[in-house]
Amino acid sequence: MSLGKRIREYRIKRGLTQMQLAAKLQMTEANISSYERDKSAPPSDKLSQLAEILNVTSDYLLSGISQPAPPKSLQDIGHELTEEQILTLAAHRIGHEGPLSGQELDQIKLALRIALAKK
């Protein structure tokens, strides 16, 4: 798997759009798109920021050989993500395509509240 594919994979796993990732890196969405399509590679300073945001090591992004950084606890993730990002991530995790119904959103919110309350 290429650098671009690893960036895309972990961006999606973290529930981020290209625009959101670009904003965190103070870059343009076109930069992120270019990285994900392997048209260019991020400079070293952005690579380390990217790895931190995606919660993987720079070595893993570059080579795919190292193990990803250990996942953060659900409590940590809950405090770092917006409600929209949490819902997007939850929808991706269950393989849902398209907009979520109001009932589905309520079920996801309830499950997350329960999970985050169990510390």
The predicted-structure confidence for 44-54, as pLDDT tens digits, reads as follows 888 989 988 98
pLDDT tens per residue, range 18-27: 999 999 999 9
Per CATH, the number for 3-63 is 1.10.260.40
What tokens were used for 116?
């985050």
Contact criterion met (CB below 8 Å) for 20 and 86: no
Q: pTM for this structure?
A: 0.56
The mean predicted confidence, pLDDT, of the chain is 78
CA distance 106 to 103: 5
94 CB neighbour count, 10 Å cutoff:
9
Domain ranges of the chain: 3-63, 74-117
